[in-house]
Amino acid sequence: MQKTIEPEDENTPRYIYALGAAFARSGDRQNALRYIRQARDGAVARGQSGLVDSIERDLRILETPPETPR
């Protein structure tokens, strides 16, 4: 999937976002955050406000520390 993000075009932020989501689903929070933040930066640079909104929503969830079991 990482090969689909090169060369960059207007869809690249969506692909990077999907890659980050795949990492999140697999439990790799660190890579999920890295790719989703990269997708946000790309979407902002391209003026893709709808995508930025979706990414920001997911980032808020991922950036919230997981609760510790009691």
Host domain of residue 39: 2-63
Overall size of the chain counted in residues: 70
State the pTM of this model: 0.82
The verdict on residue 44 lying in a domain is yes
Task: Kindly state the tokens that stand for 58.
Answer: 């997911």
The verdict on residue 34 lying in a domain is yes
The verdict on residue 14 lying in a domain is yes
The verdict on residue 33 lying in a domain is yes
The verdict on residue 12 lying in a domain is yes
What is the full per-residue pLDDT of the chain (70 aa) written as tens digits? Answer: 555 566 677 889 999 999 999 999 999 999 999 999 999 999 999 999 999 999 999 999 999 877 777 7
Domain count, the chain: 1
The verdict on residue 70 lying in a domain is no
CATH number at residue 15: 1.25.40
47 φ/ψ sector (left φ>0, alpha ψ -120 to 50, else beta): left
